[in-house]
A = this chain, B = another copy of it.
Amino acid sequence: MPFDVGVDIGGTNIKVGLVDARGRVAHRRRLATQARRGPRPALERLSRAITELAGSRRVRSVGVGIAGLVDHAHGVVRLPPNLPGWHGTPVKAILEDLTGLPVSVGNDVNAVTLGEWRFGAGKGRRNLFCLTLGTGVGGGIIAGNRLLLGANHAAGELGHTVICANGATCACGARGCLEAYVGARAIAERARRRLHQQLKRLAGIRNQLRMFPGHAEEPSRIHALVKDRLAAVTPREIGMAARAGDKLALELLEETGYFLSLGIANVVALLDPELVVIGGGVSRIGRPLLRAVRRQVLARIPVFSGRRLEIVLSKLGPDAGVIGSAGLSRPAAA
């Protein structure tokens, strides 16, 4: 059985995997990106890793996913946010030269989208939107059984759609972007504010209880999970607390779900997908977030009999990037 090599290049690590025709990672390896040394040495080490991983197996193609604006046709990377030194690198040409294999290069979220569509939550669907929730918020589009790239191969940028005119300032400099409300930093920031308020309120109640002893409100479990270091709060702890039924954590997810539902409702209004797949690190919060999002999206969009729309969690998890990249050379369905 032939394999495809999937490569997921990040700012810290490069993940490489030998992916079989059913989308399973048969062998994998992880290299340090060593971003400061530039693209050349990294691609040379990557090429050696690919040769070693392949061994005597038949490898058809190499697919490389990378964050940023990628020219899918020529395999050139532009403005990669985590690898500024790679701007303008012809990754496809260099890696084909080094490996002797056909190489395809694409945006990392587009790769994840292809992976979920072929082998994950989106199998068999014609129209889907795959959103990745992490520090950044991204998206990829399958419309009419094809990856939608756009005129500049820049489509799917859900994180920088506006959900609130003159709203919160985003890392990109603009105001009101979805990412400024549901990116990992924004979620953690909201949590810290609410936890801080709770501490103040509980301190006030304790003072009263000295005079009128009774049943006191418990502080959120999140405090214990981060050992009372508010700076250490991430979406992970909020998710853990929410799954244990913590009230404040559930309220935080309801709020995050509200903002996220506006972004998803906009995608539904514009693209009318039959499926929205939620992936990325923050999506590991899991069902409590999914429930909040589903309810609020359905409350927002016009419902008509027979409307097809599902919202689900990613199936491929952390392997989505490698599995998806391995399929970059075959972006469209037959």
* Interface residues in chain A, defined as those with a beta carbon under 8 Å from any beta carbon in chain B: 69, 78-79, 126-127, 139, 141, 143-144, 146, 148-158, 160-165, 167, 172, 174, 176, 258-259, 262, 265-267, 269-274, 300, 302, 304, 306-309
Contact = CB atoms under 8 A, between A and B. Distances in A.
A262 to B, nearest CB: 5
A69 to B, nearest CB: 6
A300 B151 contact: no
B304 A269 contact: no
Contact of A272 (B149, B162, B262): B149
A269 B151 contact: no
Contacts of A162: 163, 262, 265-266, 300
A99 B144 CA distance: 32
A148 B153 contact: no
B302 A172 contact: yes
B272 A151 contact: yes
A144 B152 contact: no
A270 B157 contact: yes
Contact of A270 (B155, B164, B165, B265): B155
Nearest to A165: B164
A266 B139 CA distance: 13
Per CB-CB distance, the 6 closest pairs between chain A and chain B, nearest first, are: A150-B272, A151-B274, A155-B272, A157-B269, A161-B266, A154-B272
Given A163-B162, A165-B167, A144 B155 contact: no
Copies of chain A in the complex? 2
A151 B79 contact: no
A158 B304 contact: no
Contact of A269 (B148, B158, B302): B158
Given A165-B164, A302-B172, A150 B271 contact: yes
A267 to B, nearest CB: 7
B149 A144 contact: yes
B272 A161 contact: no
Nearest to A172: B302
Given A79-B304, A164-B165, A165-B262, A143 B148 contact: yes
Given A155-B271, A163-B164, 17 more contacts: A69-B304, A143-B150, A151-B308, A151-B309, A154-B272, A155-B272, A156-B270, A156-B272, A157-B270, A160-B302, A161-B270, A162-B262, A162-B266, A162-B300, A165-B259, A176-B262, A266-B266
Contact of A300 (B149, B174, B270): B174
B270 A158 contact: yes
A148 B144 contact: yes
Contacts of A148: 143-144, 148, 271
A127 B150 contact: yes
5 contacts: A78-B304, A150-B273, A152-B308, A155-B272, A161-B265
A161 B69 contact: no
A270 B267 contact: yes
A302 B157 CA distance: 11
Contacts of A165: 163-164, 167, 258-259, 262
Contacts of A259: 165
A298 to B, nearest CB: 12
